[in-house]
Chains A and B, each alone.
Chain A
Amino acid sequence: MKVLSDSTFDETLFSEDLLLVDFWAEWCGPCKMIAPILEEISHEKKGVLEIGKLDVDDNMETARRYEVMSIPTLILFKKGEPVARLVGARSKSALLKEIENHL
């Protein structure tokens, strides 16, 4: 998993074919619940899907650009373009189902 920031976001976005960005923050309970799941998915989908974590506390510019108003929000980017957006925490199987549509 990659740690993203406002300054490195675009560079990562365009260097990955498929990038799942986790907009999260330390104070968000549901964000903490999905963190270990994303860790597992990142291992299982290695080479196919890159996962990036963006802490909205420090990187409000990127969060605003994608109109994130609730966290966790997960946005799946295909060659830099957002193709799916998931608001709210959900189970691993539910996350995988959404992601696999785009693999």
Chain B
Amino acid sequence: MSKNVKVAIIGSGPAGLTAAIYTARANFEPVVIEGEISSTSDQPGGQLMLTTDIENFPGFINGIDGPLLMGNFRAQAERFGAAFHTAKVTRVDFSERPFKLWTSDANEDEPTYIADSVIVSTGARSIMLGLEKELELIGHGVSTCATCDGFFFRGKEIAVVGGGDSAMEEALFLTKFATRVFVIVRRSELRASKIMADRAKSNPKITFIWNSVVTELIGDSSLEAITLRDTLTNDETKLPLSGLFVAIGHAPNTDIFDGVIDLDDAKYIVTHDGTYTSIAGVFACGDVQDHTYRQAITAAGSGCMAAIDLERYLDSGETH
């Protein structure tokens, strides 16, 4: 049996949960379809579930643990009556209102939810290198989660691929365990913010390898070495390593919206006038529509905007 709801929120990172707090307080009784448990950054709670200290979320003088912060967001939304459903949305039909949503734990025939309005906050996930053996070696030396796996590289030499803030954060975290952390950067400069770049550059355990890309992963049962190609000279060198952490960037989780909502060339949802999408009644917030800021606080802020945009939309009676 399909369930009729006023508001369905897809995704439960800072954006989705902030939208849940606001819409619940406005008595819209939102249901949050929070995702399925995984270790790949699209799980309930979003990307912050794989981080430790968050130092730049306002209000926490000494920083706060990522999973704890998201647990608090969720509890706050629950306090105002938001309902949670631990599943993934596998299919949507936005061709007419009310909108139809199917979840991973339901049968195919009828939609799980029929919703007057939808907030999409499915976030983004880590991009992998796309090399042979990469998936087989996850959990055997290749990792996308320093906080999950760093501990196992105590006393070892490891590398982080990437030049952005996530890469710097991972590299700095990994210096707690590893004797040496190589940071492999495609260009001759970092994309990371100045504070993170300065911290990484001044850490004696971190060694930068500039203008280089990983072209091969070597090792059968676990990672033993990688091949690097110099992007200027095309010279290839082999670097023995027991761990490789991939932090080369993110891609939006928009597979189920392709051809449904307008996406940009990089597959992010296009928003206008705040959080409106190409479909009236469907709003988008957080990393799924933002490749510029990508912060917990901006995601939370846009979640609030989506809730307010939605409230105005529902109150204006446009649904009928």
CB of B149 within 8 A of CB of A71, answer: yes
CB of B139 within 8 A of CB of A69, answer: yes
Known: A30-B50, A33-B44. Contact between A88 and B139, CB under 8 A?
A: yes
CB of A68 within 8 A of CB of B49, answer: no
Q: How far is the CA of A63 from the CA of B139 in the complex (A)?
A: 13
Q: How far is the CA of A67 from the CA of B43 in the complex (A)?
A: 26
CB of A69 within 8 A of CB of B222, answer: yes
Known: A29-B50, A30-B49, A33-B49. Contact between A70 and B37, CB under 8 A?
A: no
Check: B148 CB closer than 8 A to any chain A CB: yes
CB of A27 within 8 A of CB of B147, answer: yes
Return B150 CB to nearest CB of chain A, in Å.
9
Check: B67 CB closer than 8 A to any chain A CB: yes
Check: A34 CB closer than 8 A to any chain B CB: yes
Complex interface: chain B residues within 8 A of A96 (CB): none
Q: How far is the CA of A34 from the CA of B86 in the complex (A)?
A: 12
Known: A28-B147, A69-B139. Contact between A34 and B37, CB under 8 A?
A: yes
Return B126 CB to nearest CB of chain A, in Å.
13
Return B226 CB to nearest CB of chain A, in Å.
16
Check: A99 CB closer than 8 A to any chain B CB: no
Q: How far is the CA of A58 from the CA of B140 in the complex (A)?
A: 21
Q: How far is the CA of A87 from the CA of B140 in the complex (A)?
A: 9
Residues of B in contact, count (CB < 8 Å): 32
- Residue interface bits A60-103, CB-to-B below 8 A is 1, else 0: 00010001111111000000000000011111111000000000
Check: B163 CB closer than 8 A to any chain A CB: no
Q: How far is the CA of A73 from the CA of B45 in the complex (A)?
A: 20
CB of A67 within 8 A of CB of B222, answer: yes
Residue of A nearest to B105 (CB): A93
CB of B37 within 8 A of CB of A89, answer: yes
Complex interface: chain A residues within 8 A of B40 (CB): 88
Known: A30-B49, A33-B44. Contact between A25 and B151, CB under 8 A?
A: yes
Known: A67-B222, A69-B139, A93-B105. Contact between A30 and B39, CB under 8 A?
A: yes
Sort A-B residue pairs by CB-CB distance and give the 8 closest, nearest first: A87-B139, A88-B39, A70-B139, A29-B67, A30-B39, A91-B36, A70-B149, A69-B152
| Chain A to chain B contacts (Cβ below 8 Å), 19 pairs | A25-B151, A27-B151, A29-B45, A29-B51, A29-B67, A29-B147, A30-B37, A30-B145, A33-B49, A34-B37, A37-B37, A56-B152, A68-B152, A69-B141, A69-B222, A70-B145, A88-B40, A88-B138, A88-B139
Not counting A33-B43, A69-B153, a sample of 7 additional A-B residue pairs whose C-beta atoms are within 8 angstroms of each other reads A27-B52, A29-B147, A30-B38, A33-B37, A69-B140, A69-B243, A90-B39
